[in-house]
Chains A and B, each alone.
Chain A
Amino acid sequence: MPSKDQVDRALELIGIRAANYEYFFSKLDDPEWIDPLRARGLFACPPKPERSEDGLLVRAVWWPQSQFLARVSARAPEEVLAILLATGTDNYAVIADFTEAAAKMPPELASKWAIKLRQWIQQASFVESLLVKEVRNLVLHLAGNGRSKIALDLLAALLEVLPDPKAKEAEGGDEPGGRRGFLEPGAKCDQYAFQETLQIVVPSVAGIEPIPTLELLCDLLEKTACFSFPEEQARKPLDYSFIRRPAIEDHGQNQDDRFGNSLIAAVRDVSAKICGDMPQEFEHVISEVEAHGWDIFRRIGLHLLRVSEAPPPRLVEERLVDPELFDCIGVHHEYYHLLRRRFAELSPEGQAIILAWIDSGEHHKAYLDKHEQDWSEEQRAANLRYWQYTKLLCIEKDLSGEHARRLEDLRREFGEPGIPPDFHSWMGGVRWLGQQSPKPTEELGLLPVKDLVGFLKSWKAPGEFDGPSPEGLGSGIEALIARAPEKYAAGIEHFKDGALASLYLGYVVAGFAKALENGKTFPFEPLLALCGWIVDSSEAARRQAADGPGGRREEWERPRHDIARLLTKLFDDKYGFPIGLRVSVWRIIEPLTNDPDPDLAYEARYGGENMDPLSLSINSIRGNAMHGVVHYALWVCRKNEINTASGSKRRLSLADMPEVRAVLDAHLDPGKSQFALNQMDRAVYGDWLPQLMYVDEEWVRANLGRVFPESPEERHLRRAAWNTYVVYVPQIYKQVCDLIKGIYRDEIRRLATDESRKRGYHDLAQKLGEHAAVIYARGWDDLAEGSLVDLFFANAPEELRAHVLGFLGRDLRKDTPLGDDTVARFKRLWEWRVTALAGADKVAEKELGEFGWWFASGRCGEEWALDHLETVLLRTGALSDEMGVFEHMAQVFEQFPKESLRCLKLYVEKTQNPWFFGLAREGGPWEILRKGIAHEAAEVCEASEEIVHLLGSKGYLQYREILKMERGS
């Protein structure tokens, strides 16, 4: 036993700080310390469990003392037990340690703790998995050492089945299995721990106390069955277990995630084991199981009779010739298999009874009667024959003579059964039907274009759910054209056939578009001719539809859509679309810019918060056509230059493209186009603002107020254009920025009102901040009062401000080249923010914490960066890119050891991140401290050592190694 002096010294050391105390008990391995420490009250007060604010979650609070007791329990069981019994706690981590300790004691002592533990479990509403594991071990220890009664009692407490907390709500609901569904009984531990307990503990305990274990399991299963329905709806024997557990044996159809399934398997396995090991107990087991009355128990009984090697024949026959079970849906699967396996073992009378039941169909009569009204006589007769067929299939191997012939007749009539006949219903087996073509693509490719069109016109879809479809055939055509566009371009006239379903024309156009993407070449004129014909035909159909019945405008949507999509690709220089086709192609574009898809009603329903206007534009005919207009304008600009009077050349502007100008003007003017009221159309202007500036700056200047209208009534249109510009424009241009700075200012001011942070543009406010930052970083704006950055930081909430500082920091962190003047601007911005935040009442931790990126970039000058890092860390321990920070610091440590250590110490003191120092065993802080401790300057060495001790006091004991390494050397 330790001396009084030693105990005093120990207490003095462990009282200094928690890390010492935890370390002491983690190292203590001598039970001789128990009594003196107990005398000083060290085992009297385990920590209380910590609850979340809502009280629902309980966090384990470890107790070093209980861990010590568990460690030494085998060597001092009496002393440890005395503490276990004297200590009251509801901290499950401590109880788990106590239980672990008990499992190492002699059983007569362990039982005493087990009794207390059982009471605790009975009163607890939930038992954590950590404790379940220890309870399992204790149960096994007790059962294996002659204390099976208390072991089973403890197991019963642990596995207690509890009613569904929603049982009250379900009272008075629909029938079980109906729309309201079943109730979900639960357990005191989570499902995984429950299953694991059954799998680990039950076989061992059942090996020692088989019948009591079976009784316990049956009681639990009965409770599960009872708690599966609202009380007034529970009617034995019907438990609907065939739905949740279609087979008693392990089977893919079983929903294994169900709570009760593991219990069913346990009852099944324990029963089967008893029947196998003790055949004399067979009848007792069957009666014990079946006595519970529910279908699930009757099914387990039938299952046992099937799988056992030699069950008593009387028991089998009694059940197989029981008319209640013969066609009972609740026990169908098990009865089916028992009959299949044991039919031949039945007495001749028994066999005759069953065959007679099949022949007469009397058990199926009630079912047929239900359908007397809705089925014809013929249908009901066929249904009866199918029922007989499945019954005969069950005993197929034992049939002969007339019944065998009858089965063959029925097999010919019905083929293989739709679902396995041993199941009442079948889940899964879904396959993806996709779009099937009636002919393989290769076969279609052999047809001349004329014949192919002929086939398209003549083929009729069979209308089967999973059969070939027009869409499947269309996809085949698309693939064919994508592979060999020249052949189909040459025969394209054949597609201009009014009798051909327009759906296929869309696939034809899409096939040519795909061919372009695949790098294939073909003459464009035939394709344009086809597109022109489609547009003309569809416009005619539209007029016809407007004039009266008979029009088929909707049918043309698919090909118009594909043409509009083609127009967004066609003008890419890599496809070599000739400028000579300008007039022809415009003749196709222009009508599509007036397509009603989408109209205002559609936009209101499917756009808005559901789909932003730009996304809507690329999924609609007119939207794609409007994008096509801009592509067209840019293409014309690129391909043409005008010789000026002075002899120089100039680019074309909209004045040279009146057709484009007319469309762009019209879609901004409700007097000229109804679509000027659509947000989608306005989004296209926002998306292409820089390009429109390139084409015709004057036009943009003149129309800026119409693209981004200011009136409150048109706010939604402005938002559509502006939000699209801010979120989607990939690059910011000075010219554009200068032109729209006023709009930037207005919109940034709106950040304070939160309007710009609505759904649909979830990152709009962040993007706006990024724009302001980029404009500043490029030197197009400054930090003066009223500048974009100034306005942004004045109006944005901290989270957004932090985002922008992080955005710039990450930019610094990237390898992108930045000039010295740009970095200087970055630094000025940071200093400006730090000055602004210096007087703030509340520390803007998120904002300041983003400096991590800046420091880790190593691009701001080390002295400046270290100075600012220290300033940040004096105010917050929430640092971004912390590993990057300390890895970079390790690199500059030799030049700035004191500054680095000051920062590191502040971070150790302030960080709330429990993982950072716990994980790092090399690099970053580890490297800094290793170098610091070995440093030649005594103060650096001391400062490093102080940090190592500080880390130790926070529980990061691995840093002791650094001290040992240094002292060892």
Chain B
Amino acid sequence: MSGTLSDVVIDAHLTEGRSGDEFVMVKLDAVLGHDATIALLADRFEQRKLTVFDPNRVLFALDHFSPPATADRAAIAQRFRRFAQAQGVSVERDRGICHQLLVESSLCIPGSLIVGADSHTVTGGAVSSCATGMGSTDVLFALATGTTWLRRPATIRVVLKGSPSEHVSGRDIAIALVGLLGEDGAQYRSVELFDDTTDGLSMDDRCAIANLTVEAGAKFGLFVPDEITIEYCLKRDGVAPNWMPKPGLDAKYERTLIMDLGDLRPTVARPWSPANTVPVNAIGSVPITTAFIGSCAGGRESDLELAARLLHGRQVHDDVRLVVIPASRRIHEIALSRGWIETLVRAGAVVCSPSCGPCGGIDKGVLGPTDVCVSTSTRNYRGRMGDWNSQTYLASTRTTVLSALSGRLHSRLHEEAPC
């Protein structure tokens, strides 16, 4: 095997083009879509009398308008479902965010090549998939042919070493990485992540990191598969992955970043850019009005477990609305059975059903002009979560919950935490 991890994976999927070519045609292992983006292509697909290449390799989720908050969105969701039904593709309706469902699916395995009609498809890289987002027209072609064209990306290698210091999570690593790279620092690149940490990063942490690479412009953001990957796939699928691709010894990286997690502190991204990062201990004091735990970047089992642990027997600050949305039905059910949902509700959190929610300004807590939000969601571009003048700070679950308790995002948040 030759080249970086993405070279190896692309080479294994070539239909046209050769190993050295810049532009190639590749065969896809799966295509991901959701209500908002698939509805945009349904008419054109049907007008051309196209058929889906393999319904078993398509994951469709009704997650953005779940349930729909307006009549227009209900119509879009219905269009999506009619299209899926006509093509013989099942829809995961109200069962969670497409990217979380992807990592919960046996389609997402090391060395797979997946495209999705949503930019955060890169989350699949947590399980070592070359997974990437595209627009509806590209996905229309992918659904019809099971192929697409790719420009072979250069690779940035990121080595994660050491042991995360207290209070630092995968999300802090992710935010810090985007801060280091900048909004276009990984533009068109594959970000190849090597977990060389002392204890190994959990799959939840890997999802948070892979997910956020797109905010630095990445095409792929994937972990080199290892024992943690094998263990995850065994538990999820009952079998180990059939391929554990590794970069070749001759792999040439455009650059290598080494992050010693012991040097890292909890970090946030300030309005209005995911790369506008600062350690929490230098943030000053920011009164907040809303807090959000959820989205494909932050509504996982470990996030809900931590939120419940911090909120047990306490109350969300009077000035703050805390919205909590599990990323999938599976996570929601685990949280229910462990008593976390009860703890969150009793603490005053607004707990909703698995869906995207306020992350993209959709519903379940869209921001008004004077809202200041601390959020585990993906982006804080101006106007994304609601009003043009609203402000969002992207943060880890721990930073978000502590802010919701104290009413402020401030420099001594972690030192003064109740637990």
Is chain B found bound to chain A in the same assembly?
A: no
